[in-house]
Structures are given as C-alpha cells and as structure tokens.
C-alpha cells in the first residue's frame, strides 16, 4: 500500500523512494507545488484537534515535544490551525530537516531528546506511523502506538504496530494518558 510506503517519512526520504521505485513520476516543481497546495487545503479544511490531546500537554509531570517528519512550514501550519502554540515553541518542536536522516532512522528522536536535555532511555515516543515506531525503537525509546487516527483504529494496524516494536497500543488519547500514568510517571 503506497500510504504505508511513504507515510511518516521525511520529504527527502519520500523523494529518494519514489525516484527509485517509480522513475516515471516527474518529481519536479509542478508536482511539489500541487502536493503543497493540496496539503495546505486539507490542513485548513479537514484537520481537527484529537480529543484529549490537550490534557496530555497540560500534564506537568512530563516534558513534551513534537518530533515530526513534516517540514517546519507544514508543522507550523498544523500547530497554528489546531491552536497548540501555547504548548510548543521553537525549543520543543523538531522537524526532519534538522537531521541527516529522517524516520525510520532514529536521528530525529535522538536529536529531540538531546535538545530537550534527556537521555533517550528517559523518553517515551507516542507515534502513529510504522516508520515512526521503528525510529523510536532504533532510538532505544519505548513506543506507545497511537492508532486512533482515521484508517488506523483497527486490530490489523494494531498488530502491525506490535510487530514493529510498540510496547503499548492506545486507541485514543485517554488510553495514551492512562498508559503514561501507569508505566512512565
């Protein structure tokens, strides 16, 4: 499935994969301009705040950050659209263009941990993509697989997350908060 083939990966990794496996696709400016316009349109029209996510950010027992395969521009657009800037600033938002290798390499999570002042083994990753789970495992961080996103909330995807190395599965943010409280607080 193409969605799982590129999902969660940095743009540079997507380009490498698509160029290698689909050389007939013209990955030039018109392609990227159309993709960017479609992405902005979807973010503006469809992106909604996940129920319970703000309660996670309000929990003062944990530091938190964003470590995303998205570009800085796309991440900023999402955070702004969702009204989450009150929880994040440049000191706790990290994107794939800040490291050499994006997910599934551990670079982004290791970079985020270092910038936040934590050892990897003292971090927990909450991740919705299989490549992100692989990155968290490679960074020596326990991973909670969040499968509450549209298209992921099913037993088949939960099994794939477990096979990828996730130590916990959460179907919603309340379950995520409960896992954090029981195992990591």
Using one digit for the tens of pLDDT, what is the confidence trace for 58-76?
Answer: 988 899 999 999 889 999 9
- The domains located in the chain, with CATH, are 53-184 (3.40.50.1000)
pLDDT of amino acid 153: 92
* 144: Cα separation from own chain's centroid: 12
Q: How confident is the model at residue 124 (pLDDT cuts 50, 70, 90)?
A: very high
> pTM for this structure?
0.84
Q: What is the CA radius of gyration of the chain?
A: 16
Tokens, residue 156: 């088949």
Determine the 3-state secondary structure of 147 from DSSP: coil
């Amino acid at each position: 499935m193409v969605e799982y083939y590129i999902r969660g990966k940095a743009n540079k990794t997507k380009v490498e994969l698509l160029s290698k496996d689909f050389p007939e696709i013209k990955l030039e400016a018109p392609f990227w301009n159309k993709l960017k316009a479609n992405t902005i349109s979807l973010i503006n029209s469809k992106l909604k705040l996940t129920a319970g996510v703000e309660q996670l950010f309000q929990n003062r027992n944990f530091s938190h950050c964003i470590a995303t395969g998205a570009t800085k521009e796309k991440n900023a657009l999402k955070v702004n659209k969702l009204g989450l800037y009150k929880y994040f600033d440049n000191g706790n938002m990290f994107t794939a263009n800040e490291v050499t290798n994006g997910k599934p390499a551990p670079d982004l999570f290791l970079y985020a941990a270092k910038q936040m002042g934590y050892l990897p083994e003292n971090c927990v990753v909450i991740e919705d993509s299989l490549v992100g789970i692989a990155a968290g495992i490679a960074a020596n961080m326990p991973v909670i697989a969040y499968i509450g996103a549209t298209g992921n909330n099913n037993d088949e995807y939960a099994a794939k997350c477990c096979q990828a190395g996730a130590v916990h599965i959460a179907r919603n943010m309340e379950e995520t908060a409960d896992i954090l409280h029981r195992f990591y607080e």
